A and B are shown apart, each in its own frame.
Chain A
Amino acid sequence: MFHRILPLPLLFLPFFGPASTAHAQENAKYLLADAACPQEKGTTNAMENAVNVLESATNAMENAVNALGSAAKTPGNTANAHGKSAENMRGNAENAQKSVANTLESTANAHGKSTENAQRRTVGRTWIFRIGGNALYDSYLSPLDYNGPSAGLSMENEGTARWGNGNVITFLRLDVDGTWAENQAKNADFYDGNVEFHFGWQYNWQLSPNWRLRAGGIAGINTGGTYSTRNGNNPAQGRAAFDVRAMVVADYAFRMFGKGCSARISAESPLAGLMFSPQYGQSYYEIFSLGHYDGNVRFTYPGNVPSLRLDATLRFPVRKAYIVAGYGADIRQSRVNHLDRHAWNHCFLIGFTRRLSF
């Protein structure tokens, strides 16, 4: 059952939040009651009390109406007395009902605001170190492949958006990576570096008690470059790009050694964007010293930037954090201005996730 594996994903609480599906509603009590959200827990109890009071008031009003009906059938003063008494009872019951309704409304508002505040304050932050290998090719610099070790660091923030009824996840990621690669003759080097920032939203689907799928779009910038130790007037290739990407994340929750764990696969691919590139044989002297611009900003789409980023990770709890480990593939390719480039990065991922409150 889903609730059995939920202790693990306090990490996922922001995204599992008050979802609209039946499973999510079912599990929401569990989440609110046991997921270390005292504000929400208290608010839920207040709501339940208010509901009980409202039910009592409604019963009282029904009794008053019945009494009024009985009094109408009774003749004379007794009847008047009974009628006044019944009317008074009905008025009191109506007032009580209004009061309780107000209480319930305000409590409900408070609950909503409290939930919203909790969503605002809570973010799953993941730091991931990437160590692996990179295969570089840039036809502006060389017709040959360069291979070498790479390392990178990613910081991802994931939290429930303030809109979307809790079904929308806000995603933010900052990547920094570098590669030192050699040609096959091992007498020339590429030094490659990238900085990326992406931000976007994803929608949540609860596919089954154990499976959850997120899909959405992220947009961001990518800057970097490759320096060749061999070349003269074309010693480096600079990169700057803005793109919009489709992103899909699948989470599977399970128990291992009595602890809640999860597996995740995420994939993203650029759909459209803008990218800087020199022309096929254009020198940077022309661009920056002479100010000659010639189609140096190009529209990109999957046809000329067929790229894919894929991460497969396991997450398991260690004390207050969750350790993240797995495999990552970052396939970056471009064919712009007849210049071909690829960076095929495969790496081991290791990191941790903390649930941060702001």
Chain B
Amino acid sequence: MCRLLHIISVIVLLVLPMSCISSDGFEDTRRDNFEALWNVIDRHYCFFSYKKQAYGLDWDEVYRRYSPQVEEKMSDEALFQVLSRMTYELRDGHVNLAYAGNTSYYTQWYDAFPENFNDSILRRYLGSSDDYRTTAGMKYKVMANNIGYIRCPSFENSIGDGNLHYMMEYLATCDGLIIDVRNNGGGMLTSAQALAGIFVNESTVMGFMSHKTGPGHEDFSAPQPIRVSPASGLRWQKPTVILTNRRTYSAANAFVMFVKSLESVTLIGDRTGGGSGMPFSSELPRGWSVRFSACPMTDITGEHTEFGIDPDINVDISSEDYNRGIDTILETALQYLAEKCRTADGQ
């Protein structure tokens, strides 16, 4: 009996203290906030390898360059600036640092390019609220030449079968369809999948997703298919144009990635902004939030779309058209579909 008690005591006293599972113990110092941010990104960010190939990103070199800039005497704002600039090295709109007074965004993926979208001009095409309908955050109407138009500014709203049913029933007699996802900054991937579901006749692989399996930069699972299921009772088989610009990002970029391989779909506008990593959240000891890309998605060929998707027809809104209140990209799409319809009627 005593032997049994001794064995149990030894196990408890020796094994458990050695097996203590604890955090890194970061304190709220300038140095620890810097270390915490660098480590969070180092262990969880999903595009190190891809971006090393794309533009030579070296996260260890980033550490060496930014670490000397951190001092305990620096102000919160100064620390925020240093840490924000460090995240900009990732060239990723999904990487943000935030506190109550400010949020850092890497914006070069759209700042350096034409806007190619104007709300005031679009309002001229949509008309007043009596001229269009709205469901799940999407506005839709029938435009000239019997072309259906869906303005989808965000995927933040959940899109259900009912929303799609009423919208597509209203547009069912149109000869072509335009889905405008310009300036759509993303939202829920499930909403992007739901909208893509109106174009497929059966469950279809439209991309791949993987995730990290460990803290190493190369620790990834095998890519698993992202399947899009057909919308309940709906099949849109007519010519379709998707309007894109540099602010078509994240879930909207995923929507474009899903449908771009379909024969009936044409992309018109500017390259999308990208953002193909599903973001996770974390935090720093200071209480600041950190967001970063965690789960990479690729298209059906296995190519990353982190830096965007090129359109089939590249069109910018010209300065003259801006001044005249004309949406060059939308006009191009209307003409393209009208031409398509004439060709189809001729045949």
B interface list, Cβ under 8 A from A: 1, 4-5, 8, 12, 15-16, 19-26, 28, 36, 39-40, 44, 46, 100, 189-190, 209, 211-215, 219, 221, 224-227, 278-283, 285-287, 289, 291, 294-295
Q: How far is B19's CA from A290's CA once the two chains are assembled, in angstroms? A: 35
Q: Is A281 an interface residue (CB 8 A)?
A: yes
- B40/A281 in contact, CB under 8 A: no
Asked if B19 and A303 make an inter-chain contact with CB atoms under 8 angstroms apart, the answer reads yes
Is A5 among interface residues, defined by CB-CB distance under 8 A? no
Contacts of B227 in A (CB 8 A): 290
> A285 near B189 (CB under 8 angstroms)?
yes
Contact B280 A232 (CB under 8 A): yes
The answer to whether A269 touches B12, judged by C-beta atoms less than 8 angstroms apart, is yes
Residue among A143, A282, A335 with most chain B CB within 10 A: A143
Chain B contacts for A187, CB-based, 8 A = 100, 287
Binding site for B on A (CB under 8 A): 137, 139, 142-145, 183-188, 205, 207, 213, 215, 228, 230-235, 248, 267, 269, 279-283, 285-286, 289-290, 292, 294-295, 302-303, 306, 308, 331, 333-335, 337-338, 340-342
Which residues of chain B come closer than 8 Å to A139, judged between CB atoms? 23
What 5 A-B pairs come out closest when comparing CB atoms? A185-B287, A281-B212, A306-B19, A231-B281, A333-B21
The answer, among B26, B209, B279, for a CB contact under 8 Å with A290, is: B209
What distance in Å separates the Cβ of B258 from its nearest Cβ neighbour in chain A?
13
Task: Report chain B residues within 8 Å CB of A213.
Answer: 1, 5
Q: Is A143's CB under 8 angstroms from B294's CB?
A: no
Which residues of the partner chain A approach B283 to less than 8 Å between Cβ atoms?
A: 142-144, 183, 188, 230
Q: Is the CB of B281 within 8 A of A338?
A: no
B276 to chain A, nearest CB (A): 14
A283-B189 Cα distance, complex, nearest whole Å = 12
Assuming the contacts A137-B23, A188-B287, asked whether A233 and B294 have C-beta atoms less than 8 A apart, the reply is yes
Residues of B within 8 A of A342 (CB): 21-22
Our pick among B20, B211, B281 for the contact of A333 (Cβ within 8 Å) is: B20
Quote the shortest CB–CB distance from B49 to chain A (angstroms): 14
How many A-B residue contacts, CB cutoff 8 Å?
138
Q: Do the beta carbons of A294 and B281 come within 8 Å of each other?
A: no
**For B282, what are the chain A residues with a Cβ–Cβ distance below 8 Å?**
142-143, 231
Task: Tell me if B21 and A340 are in contact (CB < 8 A).
Answer: yes
Q: Shortest beta-carbon distance, B10 to chain A, in Å?
A: 13
Interchain CA distance A342-B25 in the complex, whole Å: 13
Q: Are B36 and A338 in contact (CB under 8 A)?
A: no
Cα A269 to Cα B24 in complex, Å, equals 25
CA distance A232 to B189 in the complex (A): 13
Q: Once bound together, how far apart are the Cα atoms of A237 and B190, in whole Å?
A: 20
Instruction: From A142, A187, A292, A340, name the one whose CB has the most chain B CB atoms within 10 angstroms.
Output: A292
The residue on A at minimum CB distance from B295 is: A283
The 8 Å CB contact of B291, one of A215, A232, A306, is A232
Docked Cα-Cα span, A279 to B211, in Å, equals: 8
State A341–B280 Cα separation when bound (angstroms): 18
24 A–B pairs (Cβ distance < 8 Å), ordered by A: A142-B282, A143-B23, A143-B24, A144-B26, A183-B287, A185-B285, A233-B278, A234-B281, A235-B281, A280-B213, A281-B213, A282-B295, A283-B280, A285-B278, A286-B209, A286-B211, A286-B295, A292-B209, A306-B21, A335-B21, A338-B213, A340-B22, A342-B21, A342-B22
